[in-house]
Amino acid sequence: MKKTIFLTLFVLIFSIAYMANAQYVEAPQLNITIMNQDPDPVGPGKYVEVRFKIYNDGVGTAENVVLELLPKYPFSLDKNEDPLRDLGNIPGYGKSKNVMVVKYKIRVDRNAIEGENILHLRYKIGDVWITEEFIINVQTIDATVSIESVETIPEKIEPGKPFEIRFKLKNMADSVMEDVSLKFDLGLSTVDIPSTTSSLSLYDLVPFAPLNSATEKKVRMISPGKEAVFTYDVIAYSSAEPRVYKIPIQIKYYDELDTEYIKNDIVGLIVGTKPDLTVDIDETSLDAATSMGDVIIKFINKGFTDIKFLDVTLGQGEDFEILSSDEVYIGNIDSDDYETAEFKIFVKQDKETKGQERTIILPLSIEYKDANTEEYTKQISLELKLYDPKKLGRGNGNGTMTFVLAIVVILIIFFVYRRIRKKKVK
């Protein structure tokens, strides 16, 4: 009897286990994975297309399958994008057959944290909902901090004078850039040296030194689209030659994933001052009694910078005519040096003005460039004073000629007289 009871229980338990196993084997096994995301990674503030691969890895059919995207920050769907997708029945033939692909176009918030962000998706088989999590990579594609502008105050740097230099940096990325530092090298400057003139180096010592601060500064962070200004106090050496100096700079920063970025660049600083050109009449052979003569004009460079390509034109006047060329090309004038230009003119006179002291105006048009080839134009009116020749120690021109002729006549008479006298004595 006992054997019969045990045998019956064994058969019953085996039958139940077999039926449960059969139901388990025949149950659907829905498998959902991310097929791909485009782009990968996606930048903050951008769209990403996510394709989900769905297949039934079980034997039984998955009936009335519904897929729903549950976008949470930093993800969202556009209004015309439906989060629900009705997939119907998915037969259980394994992942090699009946694979379905569902695509969602998702927006990433512009303030999304870079790195792995969780996207939630749920699906329903029959009346049962199951939620799964998927990882979407978010990262700024172009983590760029750029130099927006470089400004010096004053604009032109004078030798021996302090000045201020301002670097304005802008975060061009869609995420925060951290520990942004800027360093510029006042030790060396790149210069353009032709290979025929120097084989030593393409670097030159720069004539600058920092004042009251180091050459490297840092800010904790720059938000997307924002700017930061780095200000330095610097002084130029008194021996600084007027020209453009190219200063190497380095920018270092980190994105939110602690990726380090280093950018090397070059900025130009202009050393030079506005030329100090003085123009005056140096010498003239003209006076109140002379109608024609030369005028020599002196051009003095009193500034720190050299003057180049100096060209002078004498304009026509009411009181004179130009007998020589009206244009003289002088060329270069070094600092603390001078050059001259000579013009021959004819002064107009009438009965009222002849022999009378007066002033005539010489209109000059001057064009030149400084050491940095910046162009300058000046219009100058020089006063040429015609003095009485007696004041100049020249006397009267006609009286002098008469006196000379008288002396010559007296000498001729004297020699003729002596000659006649000698003949009488003989």
For residue range 90-148, list pLDDT tens digits in order.
Answer: 887 655 567 889 999 999 998 888 788 999 999 998 788 999 999 998 877 666 888 88
* 112 vs 8, residue with greater confidence: 112
Same domain? For 319 and 373 the reply is yes
In a domain, 412, yes or no: no
Mean pLDDT value across residues 280-301: 89
Q: What's the confidence (pLDDT) of residue 29?
A: 83
Nearest to 136 by CA among 32, 49, 244: 49
Mark whether 222 and 312 lie in a shared domain: no
Indicate the pLDDT class of residue 312, thresholds 50, 70 and 90: very high
Percent of the chain with pLDDT over 70: 83
Own/partner pairs, 16-24, CB within 8 angstroms, 24+ separation: none
> Do 260 and 385 lie in a common domain?
no
Q: Are residues 106 and 54 in the same domain?
A: yes
Helix, strand and coil percent figures for the chain, each rounded to 5: 15, 50, 35
Are residue 240 and residue 264 in the same domain, yes or no? yes
| 97 belongs to a structural domain | yes
Other CB atoms within a 10 A radius of the CB of residue 202 amount to 12
Query: What is the identity of the amino acid at 158?
Result: E
Which residue would you say has higher pLDDT here, 417 or 280? 280
d(CA 130, CA 124): 6
Q: What pLDDT was estimated at residue 122?
A: 93
Lowest mean pLDDT among 24-38, 154-168, 301-315, 325-339: 24-38
The total number of residues written for the chain in this structure: 426
Please report, in angstroms and rounded to a whole number, the separation of the first and last CA atoms in the chain: 206
Report the pLDDT averaged over residues 201-220.
Answer: 78
Dihedral over Cα of 327, 328, 332, 338: its sign: negative
- Domain for residue 408, yes or no? no
Per the domain annotation, does 374 fall within a domain?
yes
Q: Is residue 41 situated within a structural domain?
A: yes
- Residue 204: both structure tokens together: 């030159």
Tell me, yes or no, whether 94 and 173 share the same domain.
no
Residue 422 lies in a domain: no
CATH at 262: 2.60.40.10
Residue 175: the pLDDT is 77
Same domain for 166 and 210, yes or no, is yes
Q: How far apart are CA 332 and CA 371, in angstroms?
A: 10
Q: Of 30-44, 315-329, 410-424, where does the model show the most confidence?
A: 315-329
Q: Evaluate whether 335 touches 274 at the Cβ level (below 8 Å).
A: no
Per-residue pLDDT, 26? 64
Instruction: Give me the mean pLDDT over the 167-187 stretch.
Output: 87
Least confident among 26-30, 261-265, 325-329, 421-425: 421-425
End-of-domain residue from the set 251, 271, 291: 271
On whether both 241 and 175 belong to a single domain, the answer is: yes
Mean pLDDT rounded to a whole number for the chain? 82
Which of these, 267, 234, 270, lies nearest to 156 by C-alpha position? 270
Residue 167: name the closest of 268, 254, 273, 271 by CA. Answer: 268
Residues 214 and 297 in one domain: no
416, part of any domain: no
Q: Which pLDDT does position 3 carry in this prediction?
A: 55
Q: Total structural domains in the chain?
A: 3
Same domain for 180 and 52? no
Kindly state the helix (H) or strand (E) to which residue 414 belongs, with its residue range.
helix 397-425
Q: What is the pTM of this model?
A: 0.52
Average the pLDDT over 5-30 and give the result.
Answer: 56
Q: Is residue 409 part of a domain?
A: no
Q: 190 lies in which domain range? A: 145-271
Pick 193 or 311 by higher pLDDT: 311
Higher pLDDT, 255 or 379: 379
Are residues 8 and 67 both part of a single domain? yes
How far is the C-alpha of 273 from the C-alpha of 279, rounded, in Å? 18
Secondary structure (3-state) at 96? coil
User: Are 385 and 351 part of one and the same domain?
Assistant: yes
